[in-house]
A and B are shown apart, each in its own frame.
Chain A
C-alpha cells in the first residue's frame, strides 16, 4: 500500500525534479546561444557542461519514474501516457544538449546582422518549451487547466515557425555575400533551434489527449 510508504512521496518529488531539469535545460539553452552569439566561449562551455549534467539527471529520473510506476503499480491506467509524456520531455533536453554540442563542434560563423534574428527565434522556441512545463505539472494537480495552458505552447511554436521562415528567407535571398555551404550551415543551426518548439508541440499534443482522458 503505497500510501503508507514513502513511494508516493518519492515519486511525486522525482516527477517534479524531472520537470525542473527540463525547465532549467531550456534556460541553459537560451543563455548558451546568447553566449555563443556574444562570442563568450567560456560561458558557452560552462553551459554545455551544465546541460550535460541536467540531461544525465533527466535520464536517471526518467528511468526511475518509469521503474517506480511499474514495480509499484502506480497510475495503472495512465502509466503509458505519463511515460510517453516523460519520454517526449526528455527528447526536449536531448535536443538541447545535442544542439549545443553541435554548435560547439561546428562553430558556425554567424553574421552579426543575424544575431538578433537568431536570438529571437531561440527565445520563441525556448518559450514554447517553457510554457509546456506548467501545463505538464498541471496535468497532475489540475487537469482542467491543462488545455488553456497549452494554447501558449502552440502560439510560440507557430511564432518560431514564422521567424524561422523569415530568417531563412533572409539568408537565402538577401545575403548574397555568403556561399551556399555557409547558408546551408546556418539553415541547419536554425533547424536545431526550431526542433525544441517542434518537440514541445509534440508533447503538447500528447498532454492535450491525456487531459481529456483524465477529465472524462
Chain B
C-alpha cells in the first residue's frame, strides 16, 4: 500500500515538473533564446542534483503535508494537489504548486474537523497581490537598467545575445537546482520515515535511504519537465507578452531577487539595523512573481503588448487552484475513508504526531531496496546514455552539414 501512496507523491512530482519548470526556463524557451530540448535536459539534470544534494527532507514537509496525521490522508491530499496542478498544466495555466498543497490541507482540515488558521488563507491571498506587484516593479527597474547598459556599452548585438543566452542557462541551472532542493519535500518528504533502504553505492559516493527517495522524486520532476512542460514554457515566455532576449533574462533575475528579498531574514534585520522598517516575511510564489515580472515588462513596453485574455485565465487559475484542490481533497477523503476503509486522519490533539512519524519503520526489506536500486541505476544509465546519444547525434548532423556545404561550393566552382 505504501508503494501505491508513493506513486501519488511521484505523480505530484511529475505535475510539479510540468508546471514549475516554466518558472525557471519559460522565458528563455518562449523567447527562443534556448531550445526546449536543451532547456529540458539542463533543468532535468539540475533538478535531480538539487533534490539529491540539497533536498530539504521531512522538516520542510512537516510544515505542509506533515500536518496530516495519517498516511492515507497525506496520500489523498498529495494526489488531489497533483491532479489540480496537472489539470492546470493541461489548460496551460501556470499555477503555484505550494498553493495547491495548501488548498489540499485546508480540504483535509475541513474533512477531519481541524481548524484552519487564518494564516493559511492570508498566505494564499497575500501572495496573489504582493508577488506580482513586487515582481513587476523590480522587473521594470531591471529592464530599464539593462537597456541603459546595452545602449551605453555599444556591445555588438551578436555578442550581447550570446551573453544573455549564457546567463539564461546559468541562472536557469541554478533555478532548477533550487526547484529540486526546495520542492522535493513536497514530493517524497512525507515518505522518508516510512522507508529504510540499504545505501546505494555508486562508486564515488553512496546514496542514503532518503537520498534514494529524493533521487526518485527528482526523476519524477525531471520526467514532468521532459514530457509535459513545453506548452507551459511557451505560454509563459511568448503568449502573455512577447518577450525579447533581455526581457527573458530580466524575468528570471527579478524572480530570484524578489524571492531573496522576501525570504531573507538577514536582509530584513540589516534594514531594521539602519533604522528602516523591516521587510515583511510574506511567502511569495515563484510562479506569481514571474507572471508579475512579465506583466511589468508588458506595462513598460505599453499595455497593448499584454494579452489580457491569457492573463485573465491565469488569474482565474490562481483562485481556482487552492479551491479545486481543497474540494478535490475533501471529496476524495470521503471515498478513501468510507469505500476503501483507509484511515485518513482525525482531529489533532497536542499528543498526536503527524503522518510521517506515524509510519516510521514500516518499509525496510532488502527486496524493495534491490528493486529500487536497480530501477534508479537503470534510469541513471539510460539518462546518461540518452545524453551521450544526443551529443553524438548533434555532432554527426553538424559534420554532415559541413560536408554538404563543402560539396555545394566545390560543385559551384
Contacts and interface: CB of A to CB of B under 8 A. Distances in A.
Interface in A57-90: 60, 63, 67, 71, 73-78
B405 A67 contact: yes
A67 B401 CA distance: 10
Interface in B118-177: 151, 154-159, 161-163, 165-166, 169
Main secondary structure of the interface of B (DSSP, over half): helix
Nearest to A4: B166
A136 B151 CA distance: 17
Interface string A204-216: 0000000000101
Nearest to B245: A77
Interface string B8-51: 00000000000000000000000111110000000000000000
Interface string B231-272: 000000000000011000000000000000000000000000
Contacts, number: 59
Contacts of B244: 77
A76 B157 CA distance: 12
Interface in B375-399: 398
Interface stretch (A111-119, A125-133, A137-145, A175-183): A137-145
Contacts of A216: 301
B340 interface: no
Contacts of A107: none
A60 B409 contact: yes
Contacts of B165: 1-3
A2 B34 CA distance: 11
Nearest to B157: A140
Contacts of B157: 75, 78, 139-141, 143, 214
Interface in A167-198: none
B35 A71 contact: no
A75 B154 contact: no
B35 A12 contact: no
29 contacts: A1-B166, A2-B165, A3-B165, A3-B166, A4-B166, A12-B158, A12-B159, A60-B409, A63-B405, A67-B401, A67-B405, A73-B32, A73-B35, A74-B161, A74-B162, A75-B158, A76-B31, A76-B245, A77-B31, A77-B32, A77-B244, A77-B245, A140-B157, A140-B158, A141-B154, A141-B156, A142-B151, A214-B157, A216-B301
Interface of B: 31-35, 151, 154-159, 161-163, 165-166, 169, 244-245, 301, 398, 401, 405, 409
Give 3 closest A-B pairs by Cβ, nearest first: A76-B32, A3-B166, A140-B157
